[in-house]
Chain A
């Protein structure tokens, strides 16, 4: 009966049945055919699959991202990025990357990300006379940073599926994300040098200085607070004091982006020090974003809040319906020993983690081309995790490798989904978009190799704290 389970699943997936229905539906087919279990078990399993407190992080991460994703905040973040790197040669290319670093993982699904921010970035670059192909390439490449740099929805899902601490995954993403950003900025610099591009804003010390000060405040806030806590101050007092100082300085000096950038800083800081669970971190991020939008900047209208809630519900339902269906499907895969068989099969021809990682990379890149990252994680983790554990690969490290692969898959020609989205956004043919993205696969695949085969890039930071 196992062929019926797998066959109906793959058949439905290929025909275009929604992933969640393909999972729950094939489980139903299996249960009906074997007759061992009452079919309503499927519903029970689906409901209990999302009956978990940690999963409450999902809607609030999504909401925090959506709350930050309106013009009032977006303008500030881009202005900050412009001050910081807009004067460099190939300025807007760098701005594009820094913008993605800051917006990283703040929003729901990769496709919506590419469509939303991508449209703005490509428009700005067109205004400044950049070649459309270059704009599309850098936008696609920098979009992969989103889920690597925390906070990131794919990491929350992976953490839940693989039983790994989300806090560790978040920390593990920081250094690789920065490595990727540097490699991409080097690529921009190469283009700028080759085509003799200038900067996009005039170089002014005051503007750069202000951006540097803002960066200093963002880095300084958690440092000062850490110092206060080490000195023995109670948490609430230290936090209150720092917060007051932050609000006072923002009020006085009218910073561009300190407050929005503080969102991930608060969240990751809180999670690393053990003050927040991921769920509480997500809620804190939401409260902060609501405070900024409704009270501090007053750029968020009530109508917008309704729209943000509706978008949040939509993305939450999309992701969580698959989580629910994956719980029955994954359970059946384990119960019927399919996962064991896969593990045995893989281990029959290799015991080398290196070879396995190479094969896993190829598989995940391929799957990533036509499956949403979260859906892919939910299908792949139960299948691959037993092998990962047997080979002694750190599941945190593997999580990073998996998410990066799935993200690169999204824009990998010839099938990647983001490819099609960006082609539409930029009004380019698929062929031209493919050609535009190809050179960017160099820094991306280079980072993939580095992150896959140098585990310490990802594991160094989490090992420092955990």
Chain B
């Protein structure tokens, strides 16, 4: 029999939490988050200008930190989901470069900065996020690195290195922007796949990437694109967000064909990041081409794969895991 769990009556204060005055009547969680941010910035050896000077506490107001456009979102300190106002992301001109999550405990006057998402990281998550009106609901755990990550990025990066990305250009609509698989043969990788999903194109010497029993299936391999994936708690994440995960795996997408200039097949394979590791049980890959659907679920599996033999109809690929939002790729297209 399992030992009963004695519930925690108090919660540990998150590392690097900032304590504010309990005497001050704070007008809102955002006002507390702004005050905590200013407190940290004031202690930095290098001046990092933050604006606006006034009205930074106004809900929805975009902040500017060392020339970076910063969206600040708040939640309760024990929250597992954070609401993000999606309106600024509708247009490139208003889209933030960074999204900072502050978890605020109003009862104890404590602010913990969960971490930061860059524009591409946010857009990758926004695809499958639950939506409530203009609010997107993201798992609190997807914000990584605490305030230190924010300080690192705004001090080291050039603002131009983080372009403003909007849903219209690269976000939600990216799901309908078709990715042409034939482009992979020339080393071209669709911008959305690269920036939003962290996909990496790799030159492929035919069959050299694979070993063992997988080799036969890919003797006609023409190009390989890989998306790093991970489980952050129960949440599926991709690209850079996957790098810090303990459970990491890769989606390999291999264009295949007998004609070196014309792919006529696609292999979708999930493998663990570490050779020989098992994939997380319950991880599902689903791909649909027209009315033909293939689905595989990991169950003590080192790899799972789906093979498509051609056809010009779009191939819709999604990944799911119990408790996580689905990760949906843009449609892939083989030459007709």
Q: Tell whether A and B belong to one assembly.
A: no
| Interface set of B (CB-CB < 8 Å, partner A) | none
